[in-house]
Copies of this chain bind each other. A is one copy, B any other.
Amino acid sequence: MSYENIRVVMIGTTHPGNIGAAARAMKNMHLSDLVLVAPQTKFPCGKARARASGAIDVLENTRVVDDLASAIDDCTLVAGASARLRAIPWPVKDARDCAEEMVVASNESKVALVFGRERSGLTNEELERCNRLVHIPANEAYSSLNIAAAVQVLSYEVHMAMRDKEKLKLHVANDYPMSTAEEMEGLYQHFEQALQTIGFLNPENPRQLMRRLRKLFNRAQLDKMEMNILRGILAAAESPKKPREKND
């Protein structure tokens, strides 16, 4: 369990005040790793500093990157915050359960909570990079929290789960470390290529199939041994060896 391993990622934020408020909310709850993906306004900026209050140190260590992949490549568990119901069904946890899961996973590796744009949230492509959606239970008639308020609630739940960490130590350990987001992307690329090679995937319309495979394996969260097995199966499917050698 490590606060340092729990990252907050904000995508395409419009109002710099929200970035400052999020930094304050994080520091209030012991979090310090903030990454901005393509913020809409120049960063650093005075408005963010003003709202950060005593959390200037968090802002000063904030990284700015161009895309979500760069923000999460080293993470083994990525949860995307989502207020609205999605057209694409994706595993959903509520804030409390998600925070518990994050805290347990943070024991071994980096994890990330991802927050989308103020108005439009996450794109479907960003969603597909996530293992989970995390939903803050709210008034269904008015469910969209201010983004810094959402960061506050989730950071608070992370801190509450850390407090209960003795209980969480009962969690069954994995025998291999978990795969990173980057390794997962490598797997999906390999799937797409191998399924075309064996004639299972139509390259003209790959979206639904690949989305379903992403949903399945993101949900399962692969360890490195499972990753090696699946890569090995795909390689073998692309160029089968033994049985055909026998037939030669």
Q: Which of A4-12, A87-95, A122-130 contacts B (4 or more CB under 8 A)?
A: A87-95
With an 8 Å Cβ cutoff, the count of chain A residues facing the other chain is 71
Output the least CB separation between A15 and chain B (Å): 10
Interface residues of A (CB under 8 A from B): 21, 24-25, 27-30, 51, 53-55, 85, 89-96, 135-139, 142-146, 148-149, 152-153, 156, 159-160, 163, 170, 172-175, 195-200, 209, 212-213, 215-217, 219-220, 222, 225-226, 229, 232-233, 236-237, 240-245
Output the least CB separation between A174 and chain B (Å): 6
**Are A28 and B152 also in contact (CB < 8 A) when A199-B243, A216-B226 are?**
no
CB nearest neighbor in B for A191: B233
> Which one of A29, A55, A94, A163 has the greatest number of beta carbons of chain B within 10 Å?
A29
A-B contact pairs, 28 of them (CB 8 A): A24-B146, A24-B149, A28-B139, A54-B144, A55-B142, A89-B175, A90-B173, A92-B170, A95-B156, A135-B170, A137-B160, A138-B159, A145-B152, A146-B152, A148-B149, A152-B152, A195-B236, A199-B236, A199-B244, A200-B232, A200-B237, A212-B225, A213-B229, A216-B222, A216-B229, A219-B220, A233-B237, A236-B237
